[in-house]
Amino acid sequence: MRANSAGPGALKRELRAEQAAARDRLSASEREVMSALACRHAWEWVEQQGAIPFMAYAPFRSELDSRPLLLQAWKGRHEVILPRVVPGTWEMTLHSVRSWEELAPGAYGILEPAAAHEEIRPGEPSLPAAVFVPGLAFDRRGGRLGYGSGYYDRLREAWTQVLPVSAAPPVWIGLGYGMQLVAEVPMDEHDAFMDMLITENGILHCRKGE
């Protein structure tokens, strides 16, 4: 990122615009190929680590397409936890989903669990083993630039309130294209770092803000 004397907020806005435009310039075929490769790496990691159930997202616009990852899990009859935005709030509820047909357009037009789905109440046994998160940019420290709503940051903070100190927290994984890796993502104090980043180029173990 270029040197800039502006604060983190202004730097984030600038980087969001740049990265959104760059991601949108990828052709549909490029996104398909890179998404398939990234999801293959992600699924291999899930199988190796036994990271079931995991939480993921339904892709929107030019985001990395997570469908190959979800379909692999469903093919093996595994549940996938997907979020649903609570209308009129900045909160998300979590729901166990076993097929694409269980989703419907929700907030912002993004596919999410239908309203009839029972909510998963957060607690140690019900937390996912891993969380795959979309974003606009990532860095090698695990820095992530989201869309500015803070849904995932609030969710992660809420989980810290219910997870015993002795319990292993979920592994947070940024899922994106290799071109989304930047030198440094501007981070505020409340922004959470990813533990890993997975792209079509493979797996990057992050240093969590060091």
Task: Return binding residues for substrate.
Answer: 63
Please report, as a single letter, which amino acid is at residue 72. Answer: Q
Residue 65 β-bridge partners: none
Helices and strands (H and E) in the chain: how many: 4, 11
* Owner of token pair 């935005």: 85
Known binding positions: 12-16, 63, 144-152
Question: Which is it for the CA torsion 55, 195, 22, 4, positive or negative?
Answer: positive
Q: How far apart are CA 13 and CA 138, in angstroms?
A: 15
Known binding positions for ATP: 12-16, 144-152
CA-based nearest residue to 173, from 146, 133, 208, 136: 133
Q: How far apart are CA 101 and CA 182, in angstroms?
A: 36
Backbone angles phi, psi at 178, to 5 degrees: -60, -30
Instruction: Judge whether 64 and 176 are in contact, CB under 8 Å.
Output: yes
